Structure 1
Amino acid sequence: MPLQLVAITLDCPDPLALAAFYQRATGLELHPRSDADFAGLEGEHGLVIGFQRVDDYQAPSWPGQDQPQQLHLCFRIGDEDLDEVETRLREFGAGKPDHQPHGDRARVLTDPVGHPFCISVG
């Protein structure tokens, strides 16, 4: 019995704000039933990236484990310039940790509430 992945959900303090960041970054559409407690973006093949409100949310401390990351998203950027995509994402509110383990083919960034994610070429 194969399972079909239909949603990935991130904890956050403000679901609509975090959904707006990822919507700008990915171009995915906001789910019509999104609200202040849960927002979603509709992805390919029905996959939803969800954002749920958590009281007293604490950001991950990547790469340390004082506050574990729980989840790490990876996005392929095709043949776009890695520096340009990073700059655009940082303008949207992404951060860039000092620790960059992937060399020149990928970057680790953090979303506005601290979840780490990677962007990679190819």
Structure 2
Amino acid sequence: MALAELGVVVLDCPDPDALAGFYAAVLGGTVEREQDGRWVDLKVPGGQALAFQRAEGYRAPRWPRAGSDGQQFHLDLTVPDLDAAQEGVLKLGATLLDAGEPGRSWRVYADPAGHPFCLCAC
């Protein structure tokens, strides 16, 4: 028996509205803002919700893992067409971190706040 259930994954960032908008464009869903602007929820259809919290003095994790600012976690997002998805996330402000060898089924990116995420061919 589990002691708890996962409520939401929360990403610290300097601008919750902007980062929620980025992931809404990537995943779909509905953005719900708190009045003070420090917290934004993204309700993803058929999936786990994401939340974004304003963090004063935010420092993006580094990739590849290095020192105390190394990758703390990442999201794996499955896509039917890796090249098309890459084009889309780059237009939305993502940065390609690691394309890997030709034919590899996943690539590593940073979102606009610097959090690493992977696009994985399904």
TM-score (norm 1): 0.86
AA partner of residue 78 (structure 2): R
Out of 68, 72, 75, the position equivalent to 2:74 is 72
The structure-2 alpha-carbon separation of the partners of 1:52 and 1:70, relative to structure 1 and needing over 3 Å to count, comes to same
Identity %: 38
Is residue 5 of structure 1 aligned with residue 1 of structure 2? no
Q: Report the CA distance between 1:120 and its aligned residue.
A: 0.7
Report the number of matched residues: 120
Query: CA RMSD for the aligned pairs?
Result: 2.2
Partner deviation per Cα, 1:48-94 (whole Å, 9 max, x = no partner): 201101111001111032312212111111xx221111011000000
CA distance in 2, matches of 1:95, 1:8: 21
Contact 2:98 2:107 in 1 (8 A): no
AA partner of residue 91 (structure 1): K
Contact 2:28 2:45 in 1 (8 A): no
Give 5+ residue unaligned stretches, structure 1.
none
AA partner of residue 96 (structure 2): K
